[in-house]
Structure 1
Amino acid sequence: MPGPTVPPEQPVAPQAPEPTPAAPGNPYAPPAPGAQRPMSELAPGPYGGLPPGPYGLPAQPAAGRDGYAIASLVLGLFGFACLAWVAGLAFGIAALRRLRVRPQAGRGMAVAGIVLSALWGAFLLTTVAVILIAGWPDRPPHRGADGRVGAPVQVALNHVKEGDCVESADFSGLTGDRLKVVPCTAQHRGEVFAVVGLAGYADYPGDEAVLAQEQAKCLEARSRYAIDDAAVPAGVRIAFLGGGAENWGTAARPVACVFESGRMRTGSVRQDPDRLNEQQRTFLDAVDAITTAVRNRPRAEAEDDPATHRAWAAASAAAIRTRLPALDRLAADPKLGPAVTELTGALRAALPLLDVARNAQDPAVLDTEELDADGYLTPAKQNAARSALGLPPINLDGSGMAG
């Protein structure tokens, strides 16, 4: 019986000899020609493109923070100083660019510096734009060929001119250093009819002395701007701006004389004398001189300041005597005679009373004579002559400039 079959032996393939371990060498030595580096060594480091350190460890960032980033943050904090915000932006942008290729801390500081610098820049540029639009505090406004402003603008008192219309202001008589000037075609409450200067005192003389000087100078200038009191709208009065103690240190000491209205209005109060005929101009010139003198009556009582009251009576009598001849010439016209004679008769009746007052030493006598003269010097005495001359009457209720 045959025995078990034994498979023939398979030939054994010869095994390759085990490689000899490479001798340790310099890890930083360049590879041998033709050798390939492992992929792990070609992977980028944590900062993009930086080779790993020895033994496969990632490269470490440099110590400290980027100097440009620090400078950007500091300049951003103090961006209000001159052009520090511009330098803060420049250093911040430069720092971000450097930190892309340099393993160094400071990115957050650079971003913060850029943001702060940008905020300061926006604030400062906006402020400059507003100032340029509104005008510098002491910069004259832009005016057209006619000398008028074309749009609302804040104007310092020393740049206000005759004819400027004021939207609103503090018409207290003693304050006001900046006014909002608007075209007279727009709604406004005031109209500047003169700008005068105060003088005569080294130190501020007090409210009463300033008001007396303002009243005298502004009343004198009023007739050159609005020759006829009665043509000024009812409810308009004279106000003064700028004569307070806060403005006394300025060399010019400007005071704006303003026609103030109790409500908003449009248009100008200015009157053109060329629209009047010769008789009308003669009449208005005469009564204006008399009215100005009479209106300049002292604010204090006669017993408190009798000398000033005597001076007022003398000035009023002189104004009447000076202007009576012109009124008498108008009375010679048959068409005007009766009406103008009514006025000249009242003025002549007031003269002896004023003469007594200007020589009175007793304050009680002075006060009595002044009150008696007042009865002949009321502006309503002009109305008959005004009607005959074709001029508007004076309001009998006391409203308006002539009331």
Structure 2
Amino acid sequence: MAIPPPPGQQQPEGSYPPPYPHYPQYPQGGGPYDQGGPYQQPYGGTPYAPWGQGYSPFNRPVPVNGLAISALVLGILCFLPAVGLVLGAVALWQIKKRGERGKGMAVGGMVMSSVGVVLLVVALVTGGARDFWDGFRDAADDSRGSGGSAFSLDKGDCIDAPGDALEGMAYDVDTVPCSGRHDAEVFANFEMDDGSYPGDNEVTDAADDKCYTLQDTYAMDVWALPGDVDVYYFTPTRQSWRLGDREVTCMFGNTDEAGTLTGSLRNDATTLDADQVAYLQAAHLLNSAMNSAPDEEYVEDDLPGHKEWADRMSHALTEQTGTLRGHAWPDAVAGPMAALVKNIGLSQGEWAKAAEAKNPDAFYAHYEKAMKYIDPRKTVTTRKALGLATTPPAYDEDGGDQSGGGGDTGIEV
């Protein structure tokens, strides 16, 4: 993701040290060698007497105007030329009024600042300023990595976050071996659309929706995810968006702020065999349809919406049946798979009837039968034959999945 690099070490406002060392203060009219002062003349000699009122041992020089010095410095550095020009003009007025020195410095600073103003105008007209900014932006992009983020993370990377926290702002992370303890594991990256910054809430919603969808491509078997694992993400900030950052990084992390992960959570085509992948791909057809349920919890509140959902379920189960029947299963898997496919077909018929229900009561009747046929526990025998996880995910009282991975229902066949 793209978050700007951290600023340098800063002192709190108001805590800067004084510009000069602290010297002892003397009583008015006294000095370091006056009678009664904190210091006495060395070797016990007679103290020096203070100078008489109105006289000084030497002629005091006329002070130099401070603004004249500032104008000269800005002119030499060619920094803020317009400011140097103004300071030089004010310095000349003060010098004339106060009788101070520094007229040459003020004039010199104004001359050099005038040259700086001319160069600035030429740069703006010819596009030199744009070339400078483009170079600066390109350098910033390079420092953030090819992914356009402050730290470039790839799918499969395991990381430790600053302070071991996956919330708040992050300026940098450490990539560590997945075999050891770590704070998070990256399972996907995606780019948001160009345009103006959509807002914090919109960026978070986009990351939430897409990351929970992409987790199945990395951890295909949601049953294998620990119960204390959920989805986290790095997103662009308003500041990094201005520098071209559009990347969202999706990660698995521990729901316990003090907890960590050990070992990789990856289970996809790189770690599973062909039979396991074929089964899980078919299962995801049902999971996707299950996750498309209407927002209204009760059928009475949205019967048309629930009927459309039932129709999606019916079509997903039909496709799943075809996928499972079309794969050549090993002998040890063929028997349990045939029984599973039979239950899927029975469930599909009930979902089709629910899609044609005339009233909520009729919908509920077919819905309950359909769900019994695809109860997750009916898949345990097939999963065991395939060598996959065999413990169904736990659910909270609201029906949410407590197996990890956030919003996935965990229901599959």
TM-score, normalised on structure 2?
0.50
Distance change in 2, residues 1:140/1:209 (3 Å): closer
Q: Counterpart of 2:320 in structure 1: which amino acid?
A: R
- CA drift at 1:360: 3.5
- Residue 183 (1) aligns with residue 183 (2): no
- Residue 389 (1) aligns with residue 393 (2): no
- CA drift at 1:345: 2.9
The equivalences for 1:328-339 within 5 A come to 328-329=325-326, 333-339=330-336
CA RMSD of aligned residues (A): 5.2
- CA drift at 1:288: 2.5
Partner of 1:64: 62
Q: How many residues align?
A: 279
Q: Counterpart of 1:181 in structure 2: which amino acid?
A: V
Q: Counterpart of 1:356 in structure 2: which amino acid?
A: K
Identity of aligned residues (%): 24
CA contact 1:330–1:337 (8 Å) conserved in 2: no
Give distance in 2, aligned partners of 1:208 and 1:381: 40
- CA drift at 1:351: 0.9
CA contact 1:195–1:255 (8 Å) conserved in 2: yes
CA contact 1:242–1:254 (8 Å) conserved in 2: yes
- CA drift at 1:321: 1.0
Give distance in 1, aligned partners of 2:242 and 2:362: 41
* Greater Cα offset, 319-328 or 270-279: 270-279
- Which secondary structure state, in structure 2, belongs to the residue aligned with residue 238 of structure 1? strand
- Residue 323 (1) aligns with residue 320 (2): yes
Partner of 2:224: 231
The equivalences for 1:178-327 within 5 A come to 178=170, 180-185=172-177, 187-196=181-190, 217-239=210-232, 242=235, 255-262=248-255, 263-301=259-297, 302-327=299-324
Distance change in 2, residues 1:336/1:161 (3 Å): closer
Q: Counterpart of 2:296 in structure 1: which amino acid?
A: A
Q: Counterpart of 1:294 in structure 2: which amino acid?
A: M
Q: Counterpart of 2:391 in structure 1: which amino acid?
A: I
Q: Counterpart of 2:253 in structure 1: which amino acid?
A: E
Distance change in 2, residues 1:58/1:65 (3 Å): closer
Give distance in 2, aligned partners of 1:356 and 1:202: 47
From the CA coordinates, give the structure whose radius of gyration is larger. Answer: 1
- CA drift at 1:73: 12
Give distance in 2, aligned partners of 1:251 and 1:318: 41
- Which secondary structure state, in structure 2, belongs to the residue aligned with residue 353 of structure 1? helix
Partner of 1:374: 371
Distance change in 2, residues 1:58/1:202 (3 Å): closer
Give distance in 2, aligned partners of 1:66 and 1:206: 53
Distance change in 2, residues 1:334/1:217 (3 Å): same
Q: Summarize deviations over 1:137-184 as a string: whole Å, max 9, x none.
A: 9776458xxx9xxxxxx9559x665445453323xxxxx775753314
Give distance in 2, aligned partners of 1:182 and 1:397: 33
Q: Counterpart of 2:63 in structure 1: which amino acid?
A: R
Give distance in 2, aligned partners of 1:209 and 1:373: 37
- CA drift at 1:385: 0.7
Q: Counterpart of 2:69 in structure 1: which amino acid?
A: A
**Unpaired runs of at least 5, structure 1:** 1-56, 88-103, 107-135, 148-153, 171-175
Give distance in 1, aligned partners of 2:290 and 2:145: 40
Give distance in 2, aligned partners of 1:334 and 1:60: 112
